[in-house]
Amino acid sequence: MKRFYASLAVAMGLAVVLGGCASTEKQKDTGSEDTVLKDTVSKENFHIYLAFGQSNMVGYIGPTIGKDGNSGADTTWVGENGYDTPPANFVVMAAANDDNLPYGRQKGQWYQAVPPLNRAGNGINPADFLGRTIAEAVADKGIKVGVIVVAVDGVQINMFSPDVDGFKNYITSRADQVWERQQGHAYVDPSVEFPIPTADFVTEDYPYKRLVDLAKKAQEEGVIKGIIMHQGESGVQEGTGPYHEYVRKVYNSLCTDLGLEAGKVPFLAGEPVREDSLNLDAIRSIPEAFADIPNTAFVISSEGLTGWEPGNQEDGNRRIHFSFAGYEELGKRYGQKMLELLYQ
């Protein structure tokens, strides 16, 4: 996985020179909203979507993998595929600082939604195509679409505990999962030792709170219309009780903390790659936890979507992570469902 990030950082440099997006230097110098975003819309016409989860929401794509998902393909995720030229009305709020990485994005600022949307050095993910699908469909209505993505590779659902003690108990128990503690560090107080210690530590910031804090800031300019999650490849029943009930707990907390009316903000959960039907039943159970608020929670099918083909099957990534085509189609399915629910 680390091999991927090093190569992807090189590819990312290509995106910043293309039209429609401010240059890296400009974003670093201003420390504020990209000037390409200064054409504002009314608060009611700025529609914001929250996204959280594990590696498939982070975006896990090999640097030489083409859109067809095959190793060694001629195309990459920048340039000719159009991934680095999102619709003009599609933006992302940076969820963490990326001072020394290609875009120089700053936490809490809006930027044109050039991937990666989670953090620099990551890949393309379903939120990319959720946003693109909706933005293209509503452009003629004068609507701008924004996404906020908080995701960490490999984590169980209780990484997104609504309370800090739940988060700390989870992350300190992951002594052998250095990657989780490294990537999760982006969402804690800067004073916390890197990677997050496995002993007690003090923090007021953690992934759930980061998502809420950024969402509150976004609410000053727009309205939150929906929430998407891609989590469940791991940890669906470990330490949290029934998985679908814990997912509902996160949704309830988001609605309470953000002043949202449950039942009016759709919640979409994506199925994993179906190679081994990994935890498929647990994810399909999510709507059961929302029985008292019908027409709110929906599962987005992964039927027919291909897994990543890294050329080396020893790590089994094709059973866990989607291909380019898989991410694109999955994200479109998220977007099409939101369009059906909110824009008819």
Q: Across the chain, what does the average pLDDT equal?
A: 82
- Model pLDDT, residue 324: 80
Q: How confident is the model at residue 39 (pLDDT cuts 50, 70, 90)?
A: low
Q: Residue type at 138?
A: V
Residues contacting 165, CB < 8 A, separation 6+ = none
Nearest to 262 by CA among 249, 274, 273: 249
Residue 86 C-beta-side C-alpha neighbours within 13 Å: 30
- Model pLDDT, residue 275: 73
Q: Evaluate whether 309 touches 70 at the Cβ level (below 8 Å).
A: yes
Helices (H), the chain: 2-15, 24-30, 55-58, 126-138, 164-172, 178-183, 207-219, 243-258, 280-284, 324-342
Q: Residue type at 168?
A: K
Whether pLDDT at 60 is above 80:
no
Q: How confident is the model at residue 315 (pLDDT cuts 50, 70, 90)?
A: low
The DSSP output letter for 275 is T
Residues contacting 241, CB < 8 A, separation 6+ = none
Length, in residues, of the chain: 344
**Secondary structure class of 93 (helix, strand, coil):** strand
Residue 170 sits at φ, ψ, to 5 deg, of: -70, -55
Whether pLDDT at 265 is above 70:
yes
In whole angstroms, give the CA distance from residue 207 to residue 84: 27
- Model pLDDT, residue 104: 82
Instruction: Check residue 38 and give left, alpha or beta (phi > 0: left; psi -120 to 50: alpha).
Output: alpha
Q: Which of 75-79, 111-115, 131-135, 331-335 has the lowest mean pLDDT?
A: 75-79
Q: Which residue has the higher pLDDT, 273 or 312?
A: 273
Whether pLDDT at 290 is above 80:
yes
Query: For a pLDDT cut of 70, what percent of the chain falls above it?
Result: 76
Question: pLDDT of 318-327, one tens digit each?
Answer: 678 888 888 9
Whether pLDDT at 22 is above 90:
no
- Model pLDDT, residue 85: 85
In whole angstroms, give the CA distance from residue 119 to residue 275: 28
**Secondary structure class of 149 (helix, strand, coil):** strand
Residues contacting 328, CB < 8 A, separation 6+ = 67, 129
Query: Six-digit token pair at 322?
Result: 């989607």
- Model pLDDT, residue 124: 85
Question: pLDDT of 227-242, one tens digit each?
Answer: 999 998 877 765 567 8
Q: What is the mean pLDDT of residues 42-51?
A: 98
Q: What is the DSSP string of 231-273?
A: --SS-SSSSSSSHHHHHHHHHHHHHHHHT--TTSS-EEEE---
Give the range with max mean pLDDT: 29-43, 86-100, 230-244. 86-100
- Model pLDDT, residue 276: 65
Whether pLDDT at 34 is above 50:
no
Residue 220 C-beta-side C-alpha neighbours within 13 Å: 9
> In the block, which residue shows the tokens 């990030």?
5
Q: How confident is the model at residue 40 (pLDDT cuts 50, 70, 90)?
A: confident
Q: Could you tell me the pTM of the whole model?
A: 0.85
- Model pLDDT, residue 318: 62
Total domains, the chain = 1
Whether pLDDT at 21 is above 50:
no
Strand pairing of 46-53 and 267-270? unpaired
Residue 75 domain boundaries: 2-342
Q: Which of 115-129, 139-153, 289-303, 307-321 has the lowest mean pLDDT?
A: 307-321
Query: Six-digit token pair at 138?
Result: 């509503």
Residue 138 CA: distances (Å) to CA of 113, 126, 215: 16, 19, 21
Question: pLDDT of 184-240, one tens digit each?
Answer: 999 999 999 999 999 999 999 999 999 999 999 999 999 999 999 999 887 776 556
Residue 332 burial (CB count, 10 A) = 17
Whether pLDDT at 270 is above 90:
yes
Question: pLDDT of 63-93, one tens digit each?
Answer: 444 444 443 333 344 555 567 789 999 999 9
In whole angstroms, give the CA distance from residue 230 to residue 122: 15
- Model pLDDT, residue 253: 98
Whether pLDDT at 286 is above 90:
yes
CATH number where 316 lies = 3.40.50.1110
